[in-house]
Homo-oligomer: A and B are copies of this chain.
Amino acid sequence: MKEKIKYIAYVASSIDGRIAKNGQSGTDWTSKEDWNFFQKSISKFDVVIVGHNTYKVSQIHLQKRNMIVFTTKIKKLITVGTVTFLNVKYSNIFDFIKKMNYAKVAILGGPKIYNFFLQNKMLQELFVTIEPYIFTYGVPMFSGDKFVKYNFVLKSIKKLNKRGTLLLRYKYES
């Protein structure tokens, strides 16, 4: 019996849907409660996927784990240790994941990476952490090139600390 591959996205955001100041800044503004949840969560995945910006600015590149980095800078897939650099224009990411026998895939952003999986109907579940800030400016959670209404259903709500960091779990519906 063949299990379906699980694609789950994680995102930490301000109340107004911003995830960072700009493409060169990280997500070090999030609460320690979210950081702990995030670290614990991704330890259970076979592989994590990030964009090239997220790979550079987050601490993810310091960790030795299976990782796929989306990049436009190469044509042919390159693997260095546990990290594979892949250009989705030239390589099929879904075929690669099947070939590698990965069963649980964590999508960690940024906005174009999240959007890629959403567009391909492969973002099955979404964990959103809402930190109690408003930024009014900066990188949005998802960045598509047109308005689309993707439907989700809220599965659970958890308050992570006294200030009100919220962890929401959504399932993609259609």
Contact = CB atoms under 8 A, between A and B. Distances in A.
A127 B163 CA distance: 16
Interface string A128-151: 101011111110111111111111
A100 to B, nearest CB: 28
Given A118-B136, A152-B132, A152-B134, A157 B147 contact: no
Q: Give this chain's copy count.
A: 2
B15 A18 contact: no
Contact of A135 (B128, B134, B149, B170): B149
A128 B168 CA distance: 14
A140 B17 contact: yes
A147 B138 contact: yes
Contacts of A15: 17, 126, 128, 141, 152, 168, 170
B142 A140 contact: no
Contacts of A164: 152-155, 170
Interface of A: 13-18, 21-22, 29, 115, 118, 126, 128, 130, 132-138, 140-155, 157, 159, 163-166, 168, 170
